[in-house]
Amino acid sequence: METVFHYDSPLGGMTMAGRGDALTGLWFDGQKYFMSGLTGKEEEKLLPVFGETINWLDKYFAGLATPPVPKTAPRGTPYQKALWDVLSSIPYGGTMTYKEAALETARRMDRKPCPRAAGSAAGRNPILIIIPCHRLIASDGSMGGYAAGVDRKIKLLEAERRARWDISAR
């Protein structure tokens, strides 16, 4: 059974979901695809993985060195999971274009690249911030979309850039 817990971030309320010892979801409340894949009958309680996630998020939002990411188990298609792995390789404070993400995902899967598919898979990322889809930008440098709102995406990127002085500790 899936369990949920609420977190109040500086950018608004967030809901996390987990099963066993793994984080399966982290969304801004009310965002596009909010709690996708859940039934609405989840139990609310503090799992150990939620404690780890809260610690990680507290440090992230404070601009401090974050501990290793909690164990994650996002649900998705093989392509989505491959793209989310690519996103997880984008360095803190860095960015990658949708095209670059599509090319790298295609290389890893030995298939043809499709930037549109990359954008769609990023938009369905169920573990925001920890799987950093906010670090994806358009080829022309514009922000592109973000399921939790472009305003949050900009704030996340700005906060990471301000904290880059401590990047060696990440």
pLDDT digits (tens, 9 = 90+) for 68-122: 999 999 999 999 999 999 999 999 989 999 999 999 999 999 999 888 888 899 9
54, 127, 133, 136: which one is catalytic? 133
Alpha helices in the chain (DSSP H): 48-62, 78-88, 98-109, 115-123, 150-162
The residues, any chain, with a CB within 8 Å of residue 51's CB and separated by 6 or more, are none
> What is the spatial distance between Cα 42 and Cα 17, in angstroms, rounded to a whole number?
9
Mean pLDDT over 47-64 rounds to 95
Nearest to 55 by CA among 69, 42, 43, 44: 69
| pTM for the predicted model, two decimal places | 0.91
Asked if residues 157 and 149 have their Cβ atoms less than 8 Å apart, the reply is: no
Is a pLDDT exceeding 70 seen at residue 168?
A: no
Burial class (CB in 10 A: 0-12, 13-18, 19+), 110: exposed
The mean of the pLDDT values for the chain is 91
Is 133 known to be catalytic? yes
